[in-house]
Amino acid sequence: MSWGGFPAAAWHWSRSLRFRLLVVTVVGVAVAVVLAGLVLSGLFREHVQRQFEATLLQQLDQVTARLEFDGQGQPVVAAQALSDPRWLKPYSGLYWQVDAMAPDGRSRVGVLRSRSLWDTSLVLQADALTDGAVHVHEVVGPQGAPLLVLERTVRAEGVDAARWRLIVAADLQATQAATAQFTRVLGLSLLVLLALLAAAAWAQVAVGLKPLQALQRGLQDVQQARTTQLQGAFPAEVQPLVNDFNAVLTRNAEVVERARTQAGNLAHALKTPLSVLENAARAPAATDGAVMAALVHEQVQMAQRHIDWHLARSRVAASVHLPGQRTALEPVVAGLVRVMNKVHAGRGVDITVGLPEAPLFFAGEAQDLQEMLGNLLDNACKWARSSVRVQAHIDGGQPLQMVVSVEDDGPGIGTAQRALALERGVRLDETVPGTGLGLAIVQELAALYAGRLDLQSSELGGLRAALSLPAARQALPQ
Task: Give domain limits for the chain.
Answer: 2-44+178-221, 68-173, 242-319, 327-475
74 sits in the region (left: phi over 0; alpha: psi -120 to 50; else beta) called: beta
Note the pLDDT of residue 208: 80
Distance between CA atoms of 392 and 172, rounded to whole angstroms? 100
Residues in CB range of 336: below 8 A, 6 or more apart: 370, 373, 374, 377
Distance between CA atoms of 184 and 17, rounded to whole angstroms? 36
Query: Distance from CA of residue 249 to its chain's centroid?
Result: 23
Distance between CA atoms of 424 and 182, rounded to whole angstroms? 92
Kind plus residue range of the DSSP H or E element containing 457? strand 452-457
Note the pLDDT of residue 256: 75
225 sits in the region (left: phi over 0; alpha: psi -120 to 50; else beta) called: left
Note the pLDDT of residue 288: 63
Note the pLDDT of residue 413: 83
Distance between CA atoms of 79 and 314, rounded to whole angstroms? 113
Query: Distance from CA of residue 476 to its chain's centroid?
Result: 35
| DSSP β-bridge partners for residue 146 | 140
How many Å from the N-terminal Cα to the C-terminal Cα in the chain?
A: 67
Tell me the CATH number for domain 327-475: 3.30.565.10
Distance between CA atoms of 70 and 451, rounded to whole angstroms? 120
Query: Distance from CA of residue 95 to its chain's centroid?
Result: 69
Helices 438-448, 366-383: inter-axial angle, 10-degree rounding = 150
Task: Return the CA Rg of the chain.
Answer: 52
Distance between CA atoms of 98 and 117, rounded to whole angstroms? 12
Identify the three-state secondary structure at position 334: helix
Omega before residue 146 within 30° of 0, cis: no
Distance between CA atoms of 160 and 51, rounded to whole angstroms? 35
Low-confidence ranges of the chain (pLDDT < 50): 1-6, 8-11, 425-436, 475-478
Burial class, 172, CB count within 10 angstroms (exposed 0-12 / middle 13-18 / buried 19+): buried
Angstrom CA distances, 143 to 90, 146, 150, 177, stand at 11, 9, 19, 17
Q: How many CB atoms lie within 10 A of CB 468?
A: 19
Note the pLDDT of residue 265: 62
pTM of the model: 0.51
Note the pLDDT of residue 287: 55
Note the pLDDT of residue 331: 93
Nearest to 70 by CA among 153, 160, 158: 158
Note the pLDDT of residue 306: 66
